[in-house]
């Protein structure tokens, strides 16, 4: 059965299919982002890996769906879709920025259901106990635009939101919703994950220091690793980093591949 048949679910969009995947990697987008944020990265994976992106409501083909302003609710809804997959599916999760925290909360729900998660990859985000002090979600549009501009690899592409009111009206509601989700999130202490965690960080990320990324080690009872890349907050969008990121994920997962001697693991129809 093909991974392609999963692309029609409410929360998941297929980014890279594989006829016989050893692992299904599910990617959670950053704030204001969509499933297609990972399209370029997905294409850098070789055979054996199927890649799906999570599609948050209120954007792209879910523009008509009401956004979810509470991060833990967002995680619970996405996790419910993943829990519908057969237990034979070997699942790994990746999240960047806001997506890292959503992925972590989703991972907790997956493990609480008795499912095994092969790995959690978190990128560009402090560990969950970190609390945002900014309240940009409650301020004017200009504050949101300025922050997007600060973090972007291409600030000129963000400035157009000031010049095109129609575009801003389309884009900013999802951005504001996601800023609210991040800025109001409060970590509820619990047991560490059974799954190992790898934290990815860039050398010039203004939102997350290497020390903050290293604190993710406290959230797993298994192995932890930390990888550093060149670039700013959106280092994973830089073409020169894509193959290295995909290679890191692939080699990490290859270290714990299951015995497949009894045949391939089929994805559900």
Which CA distances in Å does 106 have to 77, 145, 201?
Answer: 8, 28, 21
How would you class 173 by CB atoms within 10 Å of its CB: exposed for 0-12, middle for 13-18, buried for 19 or more?
Answer: middle
Q: What is the dihedral of CA 20, 25, 26, 31, to 10 degrees?
A: -140
Structure tokens at 86: 């057969």
Taking residue 26's Cβ as centre, other Cβ atoms within 10 Å add up to 26
118 is catalytic: no
Instruction: Please give the C-alpha separations between residue 267 and each of 2, 30, 50, 206, in angstroms, as whole numbers.
Output: 6, 26, 10, 39
Q: Which of 34, 47, 97, 157 is catalytic?
A: 97
> What CA–CA distance (Å, rounded) separates 248 from 44?
11
E-strand stretches of the chain? 12-16, 23-28, 49-54, 91-96, 119-123, 197-202, 224-229
What is the phi-psi region of residue 218: left when phi exceeds 0, alpha when psi lies from -120 to 50, beta otherwise? alpha
Cα end-to-end span (Å), the chain = 7
- Phi and psi dihedrals of 159, rounded to 5? -60, -25
Report CA-CA distances (Å) from 15 to 48, 100, 226.
Answer: 14, 19, 26
In whole angstroms, give the CA distance from residue 112 to residue 119. Answer: 15
Active site residues: 97
């Amino acid at each position: 059965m093909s991974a392609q048949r999963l692309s029609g679910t409410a929360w998941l969009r297929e980014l890279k299919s594989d006829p016989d995947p050893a692992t299904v990697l599910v990617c959670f987008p950053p704030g204001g982002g969509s499933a297609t944020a990972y399209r370029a990265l997905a294409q850098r994976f070789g055979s054996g890996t199927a890649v799906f992106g999570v599609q948050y409501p209120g954007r792209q083909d879910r523009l008509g769906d009401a956004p979810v302003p509470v991060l833990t609710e967002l995680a619970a809804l996405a996790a419910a879709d993943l829990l519908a997959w057969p237990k034979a599916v070997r699942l790994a999760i990746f999240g960047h920025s806001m997506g890292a925290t959503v992925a972590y909360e989703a991972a907790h729900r997956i493990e609480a259901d008795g499912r095994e998660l092969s790995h959690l990859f978190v990128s560009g985000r402090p560990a969950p106990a970190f609390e945002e002090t900014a309240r940009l979600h409650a301020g004017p549009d200009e504050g949101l635009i300025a922050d997007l501009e600060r973090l972007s690899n291409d600030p000129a592409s963000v400035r157009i939101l000031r010049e095109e009111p129609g575009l801003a009206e389309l884009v900013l509601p999802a951005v504001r919703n996601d800023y609210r989700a991040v800025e109001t999130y409060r970590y509820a202490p619990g047991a560490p994950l059974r799954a190992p965690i790898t934290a990815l960080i860039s050398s010039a990320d203004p939102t997350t220091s290497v020390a903050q990324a290293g604190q993710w080690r406290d959230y797993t009872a298994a192995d932890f690793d930390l990888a550093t890349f060149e670039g700013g907050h959106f280092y994973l969008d830089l073409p020169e980093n894509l193959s290295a990121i995909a290679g890191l994920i692939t080699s990490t997962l290859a270290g714990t591949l299951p015995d497949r001697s009894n045949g391939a693991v089929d994805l559900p129809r």
